[in-house]
């Protein structure tokens, strides 16, 4: 819904600026539901002499467009997109001849290349590259969780078009006439500035926290606007750095470094791994997991409180923050031995920001370790202890996080130890385990 809403808005704005735009809505009878046929028809009708397109962000579509280029009767030109900081194959090049990818070396290189959080004489600001040890605290209520900026968009027509077209959907839409996320550049900038003023000062500190009833905490909520190319990642990084520079008395270096690492580092890094590893990446299943995803992933209906919170947040808001994705839903799927295809499909369907380059690397790679450690140095598998340490979910749960067996023992415990036992051979030589 969000992507359609943003596309529609862009088409309207371009038309208002006097551009000639052909925008085919989903239900438009002139919509041929096929890129190639549509473009062929336009060439014939309008007499266009060249086709140019921006590199798409998905391997399948990339292959389709390349094949189309060979068949069209006019020259076709493809152009890299400015909506990533690095080129598609820069990560591949950076790690050539290496078996695994290592974020830290790539991230430091990016800091130097783009002169982000650097002193004039080549040192990192604060004399450290990484302030993680100061971050990652459990939320203690010391800083109030800020209200977020909301917009009001009526996307009823988009919602109805999706229903009428019979598109298979998941999640819950409370009111399509009140869609609250930004849909154009001006709104996205306002939304981001609101984050800088209100949430950045505690972003890093509580980056890994989980809090009952709080699905957003201090996160930026900008993955959708960046992934849909409404705003530009380098602009986001530079604007955040400039804001921090002007407010250094209120925001410590650990907060801004933690935030910038997510975008200048992680986002570019996983996107580069995607293009380096596709299409093989889609087939990895290191632990040979075969189980289907439990039904409660589609309903949120489970006594396991942490899962219920993360899944209901996902189904209601098409959003969950990173730790809900990684250490709750992802962790459970990993230790329960769910087939990575099933896990991928769920993550690709449920989130507003889901696009395969980010989804599959994070899901199959970081979360399910199905690539055998190309992206992550160890599996993000844990018993109840992590969730108890980083959240207050266990205080509200039917299960007892301390119990491993017996009545009301937390299922995370026995399932975790079963996972470890089953995969002893594959894990025992991992230096981080
Ligand atoms: P913040 O926590 O505020 O971080 C700021 C930005 O940093 C994010 O918007 C994002 O652009 C970037 N970022 C941070 N971590 C990552 C990462 N690991 N990979 C890529 N970018 C990162 N992100 C997506 O954009 N699309 C997905 O489909 C997606 N699927 C995921 C699936 C799983 C299993 C996991 C564990 C993570 C996934 N992520 C995905 C990464 C991350 O969880 C989201 O980018 C983040 O939660 C979006 O919320 P935010 O904007 O509030 O992020
Ligand atoms: Fe989750 Fe177990 Fe804690 Fe319940 S007790 S919230 S299931 S970790």
Tens digits of residue pLDDT in 116-137:
999 989 999 999 999 988 888 9
Ligand nearest, relative to CA of residue 103: 1
Is ligand 2 within 6 A of the CB of residue 410? yes
Gap from CA of 306 to ligand 2 centroid (Å): 6
Cβ neighbours for 21, distance < 8 A, ≥ 6 positions apart: 11, 14, 15
What's the pLDDT tens digit per position in 371-412? 999 999 999 999 999 999 999 999 999 999 999 999 999 999
**Per-residue confidence (pLDDT) for residue 157, from 0 to 100:** 94
Asked whether the beta carbons of 170 and 298 are under 8 A apart, the reply is yes
Of 273, 264, 223, 242, which Cα lies nearest the Cα of 85? Answer: 264
CA 75 distance to own-chain centroid: 35
**Ligand lying closest to the C-alpha of residue 224:** 1
Answer yes or no: is the C-beta of 222 below 6 A from any ligand 1 atom. Answer: yes
**DSSP states of 217-231:** TT----HHHHHTTSS
Pocket test for ligand 1, best of 322, 370, 371 (most atoms within 8 A of CB): 322
C-alpha span between 405 and 69 (Å, rounded): 60
| Ligand 1 touching residue 219 (CB < 6 A) | yes
pLDDT value of residue 99 = 83
Output the residue whose Cα is nearest ligand 1's atom 10.
223
Query: Ligand 2: which residue has its CA nearest to atom 1?
Result: 306
Q: What is the mean pLDDT of residues 186-195?
A: 98
Q: How far is the CA of 403 from the centre of ligand 2 (A)?
A: 10
Average pLDDT, the chain: 96
Please compute the mean of the pLDDT values over residues 315-325 and round it to a whole number: 97
pLDDT on residue 394: 98
The arithmetic mean of pLDDT across residues 56-82, rounded, is: 94
226 lines ligand 1 (CB under 6 A): yes
Q: What are phi and psi of 72, to 5 degrees?
A: -70, 150
**Is the distance from the beta carbon of residue 358 to the nearest atom of ligand 1 less than 6 Å?**
yes
Closest ligand to 225 CA?
A: 1
Span of 73-82, 106-115, 415-424 with lowest mean pLDDT: 73-82
Q: Is 295 exposed, middle or buried (0-12, 13-18, 19+ CB in 10 A)?
A: exposed
Question: Nearest residue CA, atom 2 of ligand 2?
Answer: 410
* Ligand 2 contact via 415 beta carbon (within 6 Å): no
- Reported residue count of the chain is 433
pLDDT at 432 over 90: no
Does 97 have pLDDT greater than 90? no
76 Cα to the center of ligand 1, angstroms: 33
Predicted pLDDT at 179: 96
Regarding the beta carbon of 387 and ligand 2, being less than 6 Å apart is answered: yes
Task: Name the nearest CA neighbour of 222 among 131, 114, 365, 319.
Answer: 319
Residue 343 Cα: closest atom of ligand 1: 34
Cβ neighbours, 10 Å, residue 47: 8
How far apart are alpha carbons 37 and 412 in whole angstroms? 50
* Cα 102–chain centre separation: 19
- Residue closest via CA to ligand 2's atom 7 equals 304
């Amino acid at each position: 819904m969000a992507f359609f809403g943003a596309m529609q808005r862009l088409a309207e704005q371009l038309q208002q600026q006097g551009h000639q735009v052909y925008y085919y809505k989903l239900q438009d009878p002139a919509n041929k539901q096929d890129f190639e046929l549509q473009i062929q028809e336009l060439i014939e009708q309008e007499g266009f002499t060249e086709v140019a397109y921006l590199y798409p962000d998905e391997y399948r579509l990339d292959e389709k467009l390349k094949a189309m280029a060979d068949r069209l009767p006019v020259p076709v030109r493809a152009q890299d997109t400015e909506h990533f900081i690095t080129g598609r194959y820069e990560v591949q090049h950076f790690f050539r001849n290496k078996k695994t990818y290592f974020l830290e070396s790539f991230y430091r290189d990016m800091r130097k290349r783009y002169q982000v959080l650097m002193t004039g004489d080549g040192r990192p600001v604060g004399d450290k590259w990484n302030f993680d040890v100061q971050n990652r605290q459990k939320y203690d209520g010391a800083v109030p969780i800020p209200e977020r900026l909301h917009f009001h968009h009526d996307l009823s027509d988009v919602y109805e078009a999706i229903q009428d077209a019979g598109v298979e959907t998941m999640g819950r839409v409370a009111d399509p006439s009140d869609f609250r996320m930004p849909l154009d550049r001006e709104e996205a900038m306002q939304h981001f500035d609101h984050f800088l003023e209100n949430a950045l000062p505690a972003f890093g500190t509580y980056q890994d926290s989980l809090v009952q009833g709080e699905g957003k905490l201090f996160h930026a909520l900008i993955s959708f606007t960046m992934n849909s190319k409404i705003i530009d990642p380098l602009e986001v990084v530079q604007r955040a750095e400039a804001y921090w520079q002007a407010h250094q008395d209120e925001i410590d270096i650990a907060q801004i470094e933690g935030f910038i690492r997510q975008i200048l580092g992680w986002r570019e890094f996983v996107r580069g791994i995607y293009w380096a590893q596709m299409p093989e990446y889609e087939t990895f299943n290191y632990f040979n997991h075969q189980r289907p995803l439990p039904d409660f992933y589609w309903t949120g209906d489970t006594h396991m409180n942490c899962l219920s919170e993360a899944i209901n947040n996902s189904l209601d808001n098409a959003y969950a923050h990173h730790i809900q994705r990684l250490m709750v839903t992802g962790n459970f799927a990993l230790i329960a031995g769910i087939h990575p295809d099933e896990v991928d499909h769920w993550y690709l369907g449920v989130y507003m920001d889901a696009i395969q380059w980010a989804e599959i690397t994070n899901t199959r790679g970081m979360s399910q370790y199905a690539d055998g450690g190309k992206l992550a140095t160890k599996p993000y598998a844990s018993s109840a202890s992590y969730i108890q340490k980083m959240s207050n979910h266990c205080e509200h749960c039917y299960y007892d996080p301390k119990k491993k067996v017996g009545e009301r023992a937390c299922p995370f415990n026995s399932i975790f130890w079963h996972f470890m036992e089953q995969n002893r051979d594959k894990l025992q030589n991992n230096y981080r385990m």
